[in-house]
């Protein structure tokens, strides 16, 4: 049986899950705070809504992400 994308996603304590608040740093040093909308750690990306309401794509390999 094939699994659809996201079916094997775990929301344990070390995972990034929709609804979590995260802080992330861009390589330039700029810091953002936002709420996770979609997380696909297997692909290395998350979509967040920042404090201004904008939706941003965060590549986990290029940003330092902290769970809040």
Chain segment 2-34, per-residue pLDDT in tens: 333 444 456 765 689 999 999 999 889 989 899
Task: Indicate whether 14 belongs to any domain.
Answer: no
Tokens standing for 35? 């709420």
Task: Indicate whether 4 belongs to any domain.
Answer: no
* Rounded Cα–Cα distance for residues 12 and 15 (Å): 5
Task: Indicate whether 58 belongs to any domain.
Answer: yes
Task: Indicate whether 3 belongs to any domain.
Answer: no
Mean pLDDT of 29-53: 92
Q: What percent of the chain has pLDDT over 70?
A: 81
Q: What's the CATH number where 32 sits?
A: 2.30.30
pLDDT value at position 7?
43
Tally of domains within the chain: 1
Task: Indicate whether 41 belongs to any domain.
Answer: yes
* Rounded Cα–Cα distance for residues 45 and 62 (Å): 10
The domain in which residue 30 lies consists of 21-67
> Which residue did the predictor score with more confidence, 21 or 68?
21
| DSSP track, the chain | -PPPTTTT----TTS--TT-EEEEE-TTS-EEEEEEEEEETTTTEEEEEETTS-EEEEETTTSEEEE-
């Amino acid at each position: 049986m094939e699994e659809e994308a996201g079916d094997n996603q775990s929301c344990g304590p070390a995972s990034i899950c929709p609804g979590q608040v995260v802080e992330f740093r861009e390589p330039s040093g700029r810091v953002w705070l936002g709420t996770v909308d979609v997380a696909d750690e297997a692909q290395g990306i998350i979509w967040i809504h920042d404090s201004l309401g904008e939706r941003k794509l965060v590549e986990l390999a290029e940003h330092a992400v902290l769970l809040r």
